[in-house]
Amino acid sequence: MGTPVPASEDEAFCRYRSPLVSRYASPDMAFNFSEKKKFGTWRRLWLYLAQAEKSLGLSITDEQIKEMEANLDNIDFKMAAEEEKRLRHDVMAHVHTFASCCPKAAGIIHLGATSCYVGDNTDLIVLRDGFNLLLPKLARVISRLADFAEKYASMPTLGFTHYQPAQLTTVGKRCCLWIQDLCMDLHNLERARDELRFRGVKGTTGTQASFLQLFEGDHDKVEELDRLVTAMAGFKRAYIVTGQTYSRKVDVEVLSVLASLGASIHKICTDIRLLANLKEIEEPFEKDQIGSSAMAYKRNPMRSERCCSLARHLMILVMDPLQTASVQWFERTLDDSANRRVCLAEAFLTADIILSTLQNISEGLVVYPKVIARRIQQELPFMATENIIMAMVKAGGNRQDCHEKIRVLSQQAAAVVKQEGGDNDLIARINADPYFRPIQDQLETLLDPASFTGRASQQVARFLKEEVRPVLTPYQNMLGVKIELSV
């Protein structure tokens, strides 16, 4: 047996709490997946159904409607829990709970509907609202990184392929690679949100049979009921065909775009972590922040590490709806329910957290130009050898002779770097060799880092103008919000 918890202990600390909510997520996203939002939306959906049924001629009174309207947020959660324990049915538990404070409307609550009328339609509303919370955050991250890319569009930096030194790029151009992925994510999140439809008013197996009976065989009224409720819930369209549930392929699409966002953020934050190790770029580091409990000098990239850690969780969550969609027998089975309670909420909560964290990072990225310049100087002499050979040929030299001279001197310089741990002294060796006297006064120009970055700065300017700034226009009034992390 476990040790009894003292009665005075704060109850909140005596049970497991998901760190997604207790430690990281924003209040808005936490509320979006709260029971208050869920069950309050159920009541609003029952109200919409009653209002629409009344408008189409069913015997529902204004008094019943007003009673429902007055009690939308008057939810007795204790009673609902007791009812669910008794009935083993969450929707009927809340029908009874709603009816207890709406005695006049009790007989018409949930009229003609099945549980998925409130369950699935609420999920679709919550998913839509979740996207609406994420999209401005993603736009803000793109905006902050766009400002960073513009500022450092022309600053040369060592490029890497295979994490080996490669041709120079610029700090801003590298950032544009991050932004491009995030712009794809912005488009995909917008598309996934805009393609969401309402399940609507479809009945037990999606045939609308119960509603056709209510309206005495009037197909037009049943279709109008579906249209009215869909519009009341803020959707432009409903799925024309459903089983008892909307297709679980919808959840696959939703979590796929969030998983893809997770992959983008993982890549960005991995790059930042690698750059932090090189001491070229660092995430923000607070005045009193401790990097290590043992090594006081350390400045660990903990924000980027958190993003990578949570992004991995986000990326694997898509496996849940994939497997759920694959085993939905005929019109539905109930083995989706418990799984969806976890994976849908966790996906949005996790995406919310990593976007907030990445925004905080992008608002305080620190660049160390002298470290970047020093690393360029360590590698640039080798990269400049082709330019030096061409300059010697123009000065009247023989290419093959020059190539052999450069090859020997390069190997000697490489030995100093690799075997002795010294600096790259190739240029000093070239300056000391009489053979290269015809171009020694050109070496400074030939080694100008800016001449090795190609069209990087021009690409940054065009990319930001043509592809980035336009996609941020719909979010212009929401870009000013700053993020302060609590942990």
Give me the active site residues, please.
162, 292
Angle between helices 369-383 and 385-394 (to 10 degrees): 50
To the nearest 10°, report the CA torsion of 203, 207, 209, 214: 60
- Residues with Cβ within 8 Å of 343's Cβ and at least 6 positions away in sequence, in order, are 251, 255, 317, 320, 321
Give the CB-side neighbour count of residue 301, counting CA atoms within 13 A. 27
- For 13, 14, 17, the CA distances from 5, given in Å and listed in that order, are 10, 8, 16
Tokens matching residue 169:
């790029």
Tokens matching residue 278:
């090189």
Q: Evaluate whether 314 touches 401 at the Cβ level (below 8 Å).
A: no
Residue with tokens 């679980």, as numbered in its chain: 248
**Cα separation, 225 vs 231, whole angstroms:** 10
Closest CA to 199 of 159, 164, 243: 243
Give the CB-side neighbour count of residue 389, counting CA atoms within 13 A. 17
- Residues with Cβ within 8 Å of 163's Cβ and at least 6 positions away in sequence, in order, are 274
**Cα separation, 303 vs 472, whole angstroms:** 25
Could you tell me the sign of the dihedral formed by the alpha carbons of 453, 454, 459, 461, in that order? positive
- For 48, 52, 80, 103, 327, the CA distances from 111, given in Å and listed in that order, are 11, 11, 19, 15, 30
User: For residue 388, with 0-12 CB atoms within 10 Å meaning exposed, 13-18 middle and 19 or more buried, which class applies?
Assistant: buried
